[in-house]
Amino acid sequence: MTSYEYDLLVIGGGSGGIACAKRSASHGKKVLCVERDRLGGTCVNVGCVPKKVMWSAAHIADTLKHDMAHYGFDNGGTEAKLDFGKLKKARDDYVKRLNGIYANGFVNAGVTGIFGECGFVDNHTVEVVDKDGKKTQYTAEKILIATGGKPVFPPGEGIEEHCISSDGFFSMEDLPKVAVVVGAGYIAVELAGVLNSLGSEVHLVVRKGKALREFDPMISDGLDAEMIKAGVLIHRHTNGVVKVELDASTKKKNVTLHSGDVIYGADIVLMAAGREPNTTEWVANTESLHLETTGVKVSPKKHVVVDEYQNTNVDNIYALGDVCGEVELTPMAIAAGRRLADRLFSGKEEDKVAKVSYEYVPTVVFSHPTIGTCGITEPKAIELYGKDAVKVYTSKFSNLHYGIFAVEPDQKPKTLMKVICAGLDEKVVGIHVLGMGSDEMMQGFGVAMKMGCTKADLDSSCAIHPTASEELVTMGVWGTSPQVSGAKVSPLGGATPGEPRLS
C-alpha cells in the first residue's frame, strides 16, 4: 500500500479550504493547506468582509446627510468630513487581524499551513514554490482544489491598463471624485452604492437595460429606481466598454462605450464585469495548477467539474467553492468543505452520503438599499409550475424609520416584498425583499423555506411589531391560505410546537 505524507492536502486557504482542512483534522487526519497569498481568501481580504466595512461607512454617511436632521439633530452648519485614509487603515488592520485569527485556527486545529504557489505533479503530488523560489513536493492520499476565483477584465483598448477590479477597489488610497463602475451584477451595484453614498459622482455602466437582471423583476426594478433617486447615473444598453483612454494632461480617464457614448473625466474605472475560476492560471502569468497532469475535467468556462458530492472525475481529487461555479457564496463553500470532510473522514454511517444542499440558499446584496432573497423568481416559478399554479403576494411601503421625514411620500425610500407560492398547498418557493433591514431578516426566513414552509406556516407565526419583517407573515388576507403545513410538527391552528426528542 502506498504511503503518503498527508491524508488531505488542500490547495487554497480561503473559506471553503480552511473549513474542510480544520474539519478533516478534527477527525484525526493529517492535513496540509497551501495558500499563495493571505489566509481567508477573497471573502476576508478583498470581498465580503472589507466590503461590509465600506457599506457600513456609506450607511453612516447616508444617515448624516439624509436622516439626521429629520430626527432633530443639528450639526451647527458644519458638514461631517470623511477621512478616507483613516477608514482604509482601520479596515485593513481589521483584515490583518482576521488573517492572524485564521493562522491561529490552523495551529489550534492541528492543520499545517504553508504559503506558496502550488501546482500538480501527479494525482497525489503537488509542487509548492515559496516566496524565495524554493521548490518542495508534497504527497497526499486525497487532494482538494479550493482555489476560488478572480476578477475578469473584458477585452478592449486600455481596459487592463487603466482600470481597476473589485480587488483594486480595496487598494484605493483616496475617495475618487468621479467613478465609473462597469457591470450589472451584485459587486457592481454594491460598490457603486458605496462610492455614491460616500460622495463620489458615480456612473454605472450596464450592457443591457438594468442591473441584477437575474433577480426578481420587482426587486431589480425597485433597486434601479432607488439608485436613480440616490443620484447614481446609469448608462443603459451600452453593450459594454470599447476603450479607456488616459488624458495625459489631467490624468483622468475617458471611457468610450459601444453605444457611442463617452464618459469624460473619471478618476477611476472599476471593472466588475464578472469573475473566473483560479484553475488554468491560479496565479496569473506564473505557476499554474497543471490540472493536465491529473486529467481533472474542467468546463468550457474553466470551472472544475464536480458532482453533488464535490468529486471530480479523478478518484482522490475533489473541488469546491467558486472554482466549481456553483452558488459562489462563502457560506456555501464552508458548508461544502465541512460536509466533504465528514464524508471522507468521520467514519460515521450517516456521513457516507453527506453533501451540501444548493437549494433555497438565502443571500444578500449590500446595495443601497439592501436586498435579501431566497428561492426562485416569479418568472422562474411560472416556467417551472405554470401560471395557474403560482400565487404571488406583494407589498410596497416606507419603513417606519422614514415615517417622520418631512418629505413627500413618494420621495421616501421604499421597501418591496414578494412571497412566491406554488401548488395546492401554497408552498413558499421564493421570498424577495428590497429595503432597510432586508439583510438581517432573510436568515430566519431562509430556515423556514429550507424546512418546506407554506404560506399558512408564515401566517401562523405571530408578527413582531413594529418591524418591516412582520409584513412577510401578514401578506394578503391573513389566515385564508390552504391550511396545510410543511413542518414536521404543524404549527397551524394554534398547535403547540412539540417537545424535543430526548432519547
Residue 21, Cβ density class (10 Å: 0-12 exposed, 13-18 middle, ≥19 buried): buried
Per-residue cell: 180: 465609473
Dist CA 17 CA 13 (whole Å): 5
Dist CA 109 CA 389 (whole Å): 50
Q: How would you classify the pairing of strands 390-397 and 415-422? A: antiparallel
Per-residue cell: 37: 497569498
Q: What is the DSSP letter of 499?
A: P
Respond yes or no: is residue 465 known to be catalytic: yes
Per the CB < 8 A criterion, the answer to whether 12 and 147 are in contact is yes
DSSP 3-state helix, strand, coil percentages of the chain (rounded to 5)?
A: 35, 25, 40
Q: Please, which residues have CB within 8 angstroms of residue 309's CB and are 6 or more apart in sequence?
A: 340, 343, 355
Phi, psi for residue 117 in degrees, rounded to 5: -90, 135
List strands edge to edge, sheet with 262-266.
241-246, 253-257, 262-266
Taking residue 305's Cβ as centre, other Cβ atoms within 10 Å add up to: 14
Per the CB < 8 A criterion, the answer to whether 340 and 395 are in contact is no
CB-based contacts of 256-262 (< 8 A; 24+ apart in sequence): 257/205, 259/235, 261/235
Buried/exposed 38-74: b ≥16 CB within 10 Å, e otherwise: bbbbbbbbbbbbbbebbbebbbebbeeeeeeeeeeee
Question: Which residue of the set 27, 203, 235, 465 is catalytic?
Answer: 465
Per-residue cell: 194: 458605496
Dist CA 383 CA 359 (whole Å): 17
- DSSP 3-state of 445: helix
Active site residues: 465
